[in-house]
Amino acid sequence: MPRRKYRLRKEEGNFINLDKEEVSLNIPVTETGMTYQQVERISSEDINAILVRIQGGPNNTPDDPVIDYISENLSFKEINIEKRRFERDPYLLVVIFNNMEELTTDDIECFKQEVEDSRHYSEAEEKVRYKKRCQKIGIDPFQPREQDGDVIGGNQKK
């Protein structure tokens, strides 16, 4: 199995804060100049999930070493997930998608379908990481279209 490119560890600042109603992300990157661009909710009825688009250059990034982090605090309102969902289920699948272009409706729907077709978090995580079904939409040889995912757990504070 390929190495996880965007590992979201709690000790590196990735957590859900119910008190502040926000998700803190600290995404490890292996290339300078990468930036956060966009977030979309891709939750199913049973799985809390967001799709985060980051952007760097036009080429795939190396697998290692981690040389920087993209830090974002996303409000529950921004990710369109209500606090009561996290109170009931304190986990969140974070799908990281490195792509130069804005997310299209097809991109969002493809990732959302992967989550909806899953019975639990680990299955959804595996689908978005390894199946690569969503990379086949609008293939452009000059776009990295790298995808990965990880699950973070709830109501932890720094």
Does 4 score more than 70 pLDDT? no
CA–CA separation, 22 vs 81, rounded Å? 10
Length of the chain equals 158
- Smallest CA-to-CA distance from 71 within 5, 16, 27, 115 is with 27
Looking at residue 9, its pLDDT comes to 76
pLDDT tens across 7-32, in order?
777 777 889 999 999 999 998 888 88
Per the listing, tokens 């776009």 go with 143
Q: How many CA atoms lie within 13 A of 74 on its CB side?
A: 28
Share of the chain above pLDDT 90, in %: 43
Residue 135 — pLDDT band, cuts 50, 70, 90? Answer: low
Indicate whether 130 pLDDT > 50. Answer: yes
The tens digit of pLDDT for each residue in 60-104 reads 777 778 888 999 999 999 999 999 999 999 999 998 888 888 888
- By C-alpha distance, which of 73, 31, 30, 21 is closest to 52? 73
Beta-carbon contacts of 9 under 8 Å, excluding residues fewer than 6 positions away, are none
5 or 46, which is more confident:
46
Q: Whole-angstrom Cα distance, residue 60 to residue 57? A: 8
Q: Which two tokens stand for residue 41?
A: 């909710």
Mean pLDDT score, 116-142: 73
**Whether residue 149 has pLDDT greater than 70:** no
- 117 contact partners, CB below 8 Å, separation of at least 6: 127
Query: Mind listing the pLDDT tens digit for each residue in 43-55?
Result: 999 999 999 999 8
Structure confidence at residue 22 (pLDDT): 95
- Do 28 and 6 form a contact (C-beta atoms < 8 A)? yes
Residue 139: pLDDT over 60: no
Taking CA 47 as the corner, what is the angle to CA 103 and CA 8, rounded to the nearest 5 degrees?
Answer: 70
Q: What is the DSSP letter of 39?
A: E
Neighbours of 65 (CB within 10 A): 7
Tell me what the pLDDT averaged over the chain comes to.
82
